[in-house]
Amino acid sequence: MPEPTSDRVILASGSSIRRQLLTRAGLVFETVPARVDEDAIRAAMEAEGAGPGDIAEELAAFKAKRVAEKHPGTLVIGCDQVLAHRGKVLAKAETREAVRQQLRSLRGGKHQLLSAVVVYDDMRPLWRHVGEVSLTMRPFSDRYLDEYLDRNWPAVRDAVGGYKLEEEGVRLFSTIEGDYFDVLGLPLLPLLTFLTTRGVLMA
């Protein structure tokens, strides 16, 4: 079984849900959020014709690389999630009204969440995975939407799409096809399998 370069593991993400998932799974790690210009990277890749999955993977890799460069000799986990609607990546809405308009555009139809994870070991890319989930929003009313935002703002401000499925956001949907952990922004099972194979977690 291959051995990791270091026992030190860093999660290059400030996401509380990702921290919770990995902590509950028994992984011992540190958290060092990566500081990157996601909008600029996304825009450059879209200009080159990159698809949503490629964009999510590149963003995750960029975050892992940025932290790995500052912490040599460590295993670094980079993550990212993008929302794709009709083949295009939707930028994260910044204001309540922008979230409202985005949710109105998504309701009654399907969109995809693509969650990527990339692992660097001692500043070298080692492993990557992209999970995809297809979600169908129910045709909820404007009244429900406004009341939903009244109850959940600003908690959903930083959520891709303006919802959290582990909270009231689940009521916006009629069907979800795919891995629930991918919805939460982390392909947890493939990552744990890799870490076990790598010897970071006990087999």
Residues with catalytic annotation?
Answer: 80
Read off φ and ψ for residue 123, nearest 5 degrees. 70, 15
Which segments of 73-190 are extended strands (E)?
75-85, 88-90, 110-121, 124-137, 173-177
The token pair that represents 57 in the structure block: 């993977």
Contact criterion met (CB below 8 Å) for 131 and 178: yes
Nearest to 117 by CA among 66, 199, 67, 190: 190
CA dist list (Å): 192 to 16, 22, 79, 167, 173: 18, 9, 14, 24, 28
